[in-house]
Structure 1
Amino acid sequence: MNAILEGFRGFARYFGGVMGADAYAKYLEHHADSGHGEAPMTEREFWRDRTDRQDSNPQGRCC
């Protein structure tokens, strides 16, 4: 039973990565590694910025 649960968790992490659910976490990691002087965007600001950029520069995507 534990192996099934671990398999499901692995699939959920993979699917979340494909869908971009981990984008904010990746942004924070990049921001910290880059040594920016200013504070990172809040999660709300990040998603608003990302959505605005996608709307102004449409690329091939499913939705």
Structure 2
Amino acid sequence: MSVRSALAKARFYVREFSGEAAYDRYVAHARSHDPDAEVLTRRAFERARTDAREADPREGFRCC
């Protein structure tokens, strides 16, 4: 395995683990279903994702 290949795999796992790839999946999904639909900005997407996570009762109480 080359260094470039190892770095690409490491980048993939870091993006998946951190949740950064979620926005890319959202955009691809939105575009595949309706190419003319407006797509949320990354900031709006992250805000909606955070709000949904905090509203989920299974997540438990969060103080911060």
TM-score, structure 2 normalization: 0.73
Give the partner amino acid of 1:22.
A
Q: Which amino acid aligns with 2:16?
A: G
Percent of aligned positions that are identical = 24
Structure 1 residue 38, shift from structure 2 partner: 3.3
- Between 1 and 2, higher relative CO (CA 8 Å, sep ≥ 6) is seen in 1
Q: Which has the higher mean CA deviation after the structures are superposed, 3-12 or 39-48?
A: 3-12
Q: After the TM superposition, which residues 8-23 of structure 1 pair with which residues of structure 2 at under 5 Å, given as runs?
A: 8-23=7-22
* Structure 1 outlier segments of 4+, above 2 Å: none
Aligned residues: 59
Q: Deviations over 1:7-53 (max 9, x none)?
A: 12212212311332101110000001111653111111000000000
Consecutive unaligned residues in structure 2, runs of 5 or more: 60-64
- Where do 1:29-44 residues align within 5 Å? 29-35=28-34, 38-44=37-43
Give, in whole Å, the separation in 2 of the partners of 1:40 and 1:48.
14
Q: TM-score, normalised by structure 1?
A: 0.74
**Cα RMSD (Å) of the superposition?**
2.2
